[in-house]
Structure 1
């Protein structure tokens, strides 16, 4: 009987970085990774500098000069030179005057100037519309998160309003709020929705809430779908009712999504222009009932670019301050919140 030698295959030694090797793979130098990261984000930074940084700096520079005026001798526009902060003080501290220069009551009441009137209108739209949209968006998201027959059709029907362009939405609601429109027919009233002060404001609020509530609902729905079902099951076994589960489980866990929705919507409404401009023409009542800061900037551009640049700079600083407060003070920071939840 012949005995054959069996060759035993010797396993190859583990290589560096292999799962069997105890020696960790040497880390890539941090300096090299930093250079690669800078190389990748450089095109985006250049594009943002051209699209965002340059217009902002240019507007700030223009705001420091007076608007050109007609020279009586030649009849041509001539530069008026350096203005300093006079364009800013004009908007912040101006008083309304008549053709003789005497102080008169400003359109919209006793707020002192068109700037403060527009500021008040913008803040009013922001607070009211965001509150309505978050409340309705949370309700819609809760409904869309449930499992039932026809859920896909319901989600699609809710999101249709958000898919419609804002200009089309404003025109649709313009016909709804017409004097002989659907709103007055259903309510049996004769309200000048786009002519009186408060009806015009509420018309803008209703149209904006109808348009953007689905967007808020979509963001909150994404947060609801991240909540584990086991948490609700454990709460039911402990005897928690529906309200207790919503208050103690749902709200705390979807707080990042709600705060992000609030941040996005606040910044959007502070810059609102197209909806009130098309729906009411920025007027209503005394002619300034729905004039927001963005509408005031566009109107001022027709009279002088430099003073309009000062107004746009003030608007930019105001919106930046609001965004800073939301991010730093109110804690609208999704990354840090998620990291804290993972550590907990």
Structure 2
């Protein structure tokens, strides 16, 4: 019965995840269809090149472009996730407080997350125009959507505005399951607001926070639509690995595009594995509070934990 109930989900995952991944892996081993060097005739079949597409990624002009995209992807991921985590936790703490108009504040904070990314990119492109709101507020004439550090800053601002509420929402869910008695006991022991946050709130909300950071990190590593719409394609300052793969595919170089996609997949997989193994992100619900772990405890210890 369990296998029967899970089978529709596994079928969908096979069709939309496993099958495309295997096709991308296969395509990365083939080159472009064109002139056959042996016969001199034009061939419509793609030649098998083995790992040549992967070796070409790390050498020459293609290598320079790849490492630039790899740096941009990593830089955007680290910067945006750190800022989103700090702002998201602050949002969650504000939304968790009981005050008049809290529902309105919650709705306002979550609005950016509800806006589609394409619409968000167009909105911020209008803000960062040469005659847009950003330059009017700053009193400067900054070309935000061209090459340079200002383009990276524009992407970071737009991305943090868009996705910080997501972390805030998940952290808020973690805050709402913390018993009030814990804070009352901390206040009785003389702990101030900062001490309560550091020794009570943060450890208890850590599982939800790690899962939120993991999800945002994986999303940021695959960043494509926001810099593509906000800044544009083939911009050295903001080109990510996803944008690089799309550019290769749009120029009918499917073998190199698939190679870039596979490398990005491996990169994302390693980051996810590091989160689960090193940081202890409980993404499968197998933490210390799982039934299996509790069964392994002695009877006396189970009584103490329950108490």
Does TM, scored on the shorter chain, surpass 0.5? yes
Name 1:265's counterpart in structure 2: 216
> Is the counterpart of residue 336 in structure 1 residue 301 in structure 2?
no
Number of the residue aligned with 2:244? 296
The farther-off stretch of 232-241 and 124-133 is 232-241
2:18 aligns with 53
Report the counterpart of residue 28 of structure 1 in structure 2. none
Secondary structure of 2:60's aligned partner? coil
Structure 2: which 5+ residue stretches go unaligned?
A: 295-301
Question: Retained in 2: the 8 A contact 1:133–1:209?
Answer: yes
The count of aligned residue pairs is 291
Counterpart mapping for 1:219-298 below 5 A: 219-283=170-234, 287-298=235-246
Kindly state the Cα deviation for residue 282 of structure 1 after the two structures are TM-superposed. 3.6
| TM-score calculated relative to the size of structure 1 | 0.81
Q: What whole-Å deviation, never above 9, does each CA across 1:178-233 have from its counterpart, x for those lacking one? A: 11111111111111111131100010000000001111100000000011101111
TM-score by length of 2: 0.90
In 1, the alpha carbon distance for the partners of 2:205 and 2:219 equals: 21
Q: What residue in structure 1 maps to residue 274 of structure 2?
A: 325
Q: Which structure is richer in relative contact order (CA contacts within 8 A, separation 6 or more)?
A: 2
CA RMSD across the alignment: 2.0
How far apart are the structure 1 equivalents of 2:146 and 2:287? 46
Aligned equivalent of 2:105: 154
Deviations 1:293-331 (A, max 9, x none): 110000000231112111111111111111111111111
Bigger share in helix: 2
Q: In structure 1, how many angstroms separate the alpha carbons of the residues matched to 2:47 and 2:111?
A: 52
Structure with bigger gyration radius: 1
Contiguous gaps of at least 5 residues in structure 1: 1-35, 97-105, 107-111
Report the Cα offset of residue 76 of structure 1. Answer: 4.8
Q: Name 2:147's counterpart in structure 1.
A: 196
Contact 2:80 2:160 in 1 (8 A): yes
Q: Are the equivalent residues in 2 in contact too, given 1:115–1:293 (CA < 8 A)?
A: yes
Distance 2:158 2:122 in 1: 10
